[in-house]
Amino acid sequence: MYPPWTSPTRAAQILADGGVVAIPTETVYGLAGNAFDPKALAKIFAAKERPFFDPLIVHISKIETIELIAKDIPKAAWKLAEAYWPGPMTLVLPKQDCIPDLATSALSTVAIRFPNHKIAQEIISLAGVPLAAPSANLFQHVSPTTAEHVAEQLGNRIDGIVDGGPCSVGVESTIIAFTEGNPVVLRPGAITPEMIIKIADSLTIKQSVSSPGKAMPAPGMMDKHYQPRIPLFYGEIPTEATLPPHTVRIAFGNTKSRIDATLNLSPTGNLTEATANLYAFMRSLDKETYDLILVDPIPDEGIGIACNDRLRRASLKYFPSQN
């Protein structure tokens, strides 16, 4: 079925008719549907095999739309929106009644983002409605950063795919909620704690929440997520460990290891480059017949915090040769 890809104009028509289309953003590709249409939202959940307790992010194409879908917006949220929208940042705010419970897992809040991607903005504007758009992949699998990635998993499940090239950021957005008006990071992303503190007076980092069957406060907060088919181990290899015969390594910088690297996220140690390559490398290796994917440690700073968050959720908790 793919290619040919779907044009932005055709995508907007499909969305207006209640269909679902994969669209590019700067973070990852999203599976979009009319945020006001419960039937379209149900199609998103079905295509992804996503549980209803995991809420969706609603995407807008102009900052003023925030007041149509959210209320009681704290000053800190406005300041962050003015500083970092359009961009890879999602704000969790009290929702207006126009947002269906299906979009929010029946929570009283809605997650909102203004993507920094011209094609995504064009499609939202042409559709004439905010678009709910989680990552365009099967639930808990590795997120797509190209149109081809989407086609591999969802090509026969959805109504169209818009090709916008590789995603520039490569991991999902920073998600920020508010407690008594103060920002709380629920999921790290390209908008780093340092960037948030520059705008807001305080900041709290919330650990992941994993209570199967109960509504998550935001997407991407389950302990196990972003997982390839092949087992992945992230971090230092135990000295006494015996490697499986077909082990592959993803390196970072000039780190030395017991096995040669097959791929290097960034030979120069650039965290932005490493993050942009992460999912594409994981998907590439997942097509092969390896027994184990090893990923080198990455500095836990800047956007590396987001990279580490995704790798920890994708990783085995213990090295496979350990008891």
Helix/strand/coil (H, E, C) string of 132-157?
ECCECCCCCECCCCCHHHHHHHHCCC
Q: Assign 256 a pLDDT band (cuts: 50, 70, 90).
A: confident
pLDDT of residue 323: 40
Strand order, beta sheet including 292-295: 232-234, 292-295, 247-251, 263-264
User: Do 157 and 47 contact (CB within 8 A), yes or no?
Assistant: yes
pLDDT of residue 1: 65
Mean pLDDT, the chain, integer: 92
User: Do 303 and 192 contact (CB within 8 A), yes or no?
Assistant: yes
Q: Domain segments of the chain: what residues? A: 8-205, 232-314
User: Do 31 and 134 contact (CB within 8 A), yes or no?
Assistant: yes
| Residue found by looking up tokens 């042409």 in the block | 126
Question: Number of C-alpha atoms within 13 angstroms, CB side, residue 292?
Answer: 19
pLDDT of residue 30: 99
Cβ-Cβ contacts under 8 Å for 169 (sequence gap 6 or more):
26, 27, 88, 189, 190, 275, 276
Is the model's pLDDT at 221 over the cut of 80? no
Q: Tens digit of pLDDT for each residue in 288-311?
A: 989 999 999 899 999 999 999 999
| Span 8-205 CATH architecture | Alpha-Beta Complex (3.90)
Q: Tens digit of pLDDT for each residue in 109-137?
A: 999 999 999 999 999 999 999 999 999 99
Compute the CA torsion angle 62, 309, 286, 238 (nearest 10 deg).
170
Amino acid at 4: P
pLDDT of residue 321: 54
Pair of tokens at residue 234: 């992230």
Q: Assign 322 a pLDDT band (cuts: 50, 70, 90).
A: very low
Backbone angles phi, psi at 293, to 5 degrees: -105, 125
Cβ-Cβ contacts under 8 Å for 155 (sequence gap 6 or more):
1, 2, 161
- Residues linked to residue 174 through DSSP beta bridges, in sequence order: 89
Is the model's pLDDT at 282 over the cut of 80? yes
Q: Which fold has domain 232-314?
A: Rossmann fold (3.40.50)
> DSSP character for 161?
B
Lowest mean pLDDT among 12-16, 192-196, 224-228: 224-228
Strands 89-94 and 174-179 come out as parallel
What's this model's pTM, rounded to 2 decimal places?
A: 0.93
Widest pairwise Cα distance in the chain: 59
